Chains A and B, each alone.
Chain A
Amino acid sequence: EDKVVQSPLSLVVHEGDTVTLNCSYEVTNFRSLLWYKQEKKAPTFLFMLTSSGIEKKSGRLSSILDKKELFSILNITATQTGDSAIYLCAPRAGTYKYIFGTGTRLKVLA
């Protein structure tokens, strides 16, 4: 059975801190992994990772995939209150089917 585990479940930090969010997975026919940010609305796309070891960056956010050890991490540096959200990872299992983790709830305090 396909499985995605995200850790920690929740996290409270202060502005300026750096956080690392983890996603481990076991899915059949793995193809790629997506990261999403969800505030009080629909998830918004952050990254798509398909190859091991290649870091994707977007401003203060970066992510990397390890296809051998079956995990991905999402790093956020110099956190801001606007980073407060639920972060979801979703590996793609086979053809066009994404399995979502329950997410990490991040709260950044001013």
Chain B
Amino acid sequence: KAGVTQTPRYLIKTRGQQVTLSCSPISGHRSVSWYQQTPGQGLQFLFEYFSETQRNKGNFPGRFSGRQFSNSRSEMNVSTLELGDSALYLCASSWGLAGGSYNEQFFGPGTRLTVL
């Protein structure tokens, strides 16, 4: 069974640009969550999508947005990039259903974004 895939793996952008990251969940998983990981802040929750609907949102500015497609693939967009957006962006997939092991999240390898 293929794991969670993320593209691209590495990205370099300059301030003011925008970027789109992609995440393909494990086959059958309908929930995709996005996280930002930085050395100082650890893993911070961005948002979670289930069946093309955003169910949860973290405390990030509106420059961070996402969407999910009917095949459960998800994209995350960051507009007007700032230096502080440099981070590892991880997505995680799960069945997204209530109870037990349905909540176990499997992480992708991440996209390392560097903003110059």
Given A45-B105, A48-B103: A96 in contact with B42 (beta carbons within 8 A): no
Count class of interface residues, chain A = 20 to 34
A57 and B56 alpha carbons, distance in the complex (Å):
31
> Nearest-CB distance from B64 to chain A (Å)?
15
The residue that B43 contacts in the complex, of A88, A94, A95, A97, with Cβ under 8 A, is A88
> Nearest-CB distance from A11 to chain B (Å)?
16
> Nearest-CB distance from A49 to chain B (Å)?
12
Contact of B45 with A96 in the complex, beta carbons under 8 Å? no
Taking Cβ atoms with an 8 Å cutoff, the residues of B that contact A are: 4, 31, 33, 35, 41-45, 48, 50, 55-56, 58, 90, 94, 96, 98, 100-101, 103-110
Contact of B56 with A95 in the complex, beta carbons under 8 Å? yes
The residue that A103 contacts in the complex, of B42, B58, B108, with Cβ under 8 A, is B42
- Tell me which residues across on chain A come within 8 A of B108, comparing CB atoms: 42
- Tell me which residues across on chain A come within 8 A of B35, comparing CB atoms: 100
- Tell me which residues across on chain A come within 8 A of B109, comparing CB atoms: 41-42
A75 lies within 8 A of chain B by Cβ = no
Q: Which residue of B lies closest to A36 (CB)?
A: B107
Contact of A101 with B42 in the complex, beta carbons under 8 Å? yes
A44 lies within 8 A of chain B by Cβ = yes
> Nearest-CB distance from A18 to chain B (Å)?
25
A32 and B100 alpha carbons, distance in the complex (Å):
9
> Nearest-CB distance from A56 to chain B (Å)?
12
- Tell me which residues across on chain A come within 8 A of B55, comparing CB atoms: 95-96
- Tell me which residues across on chain B come within 8 A of A34, comparing CB atoms: 103-105
Contact of B33 with A98 in the complex, beta carbons under 8 Å? yes
In the complex, chain A residues 81-108 whose Cβ is within 8 Å of any chain B Cβ: 88, 90, 92, 94-103
Q: Which residue of A lies closest to B56 (CB)?
A: A97
Contact of B48 with A97 in the complex, beta carbons under 8 Å? yes
The residue that A100 contacts in the complex, of B42, B98, B100, B110, with Cβ under 8 A, is B42
Q: Which residue of B lies closest to A47 (CB)?
A: B104
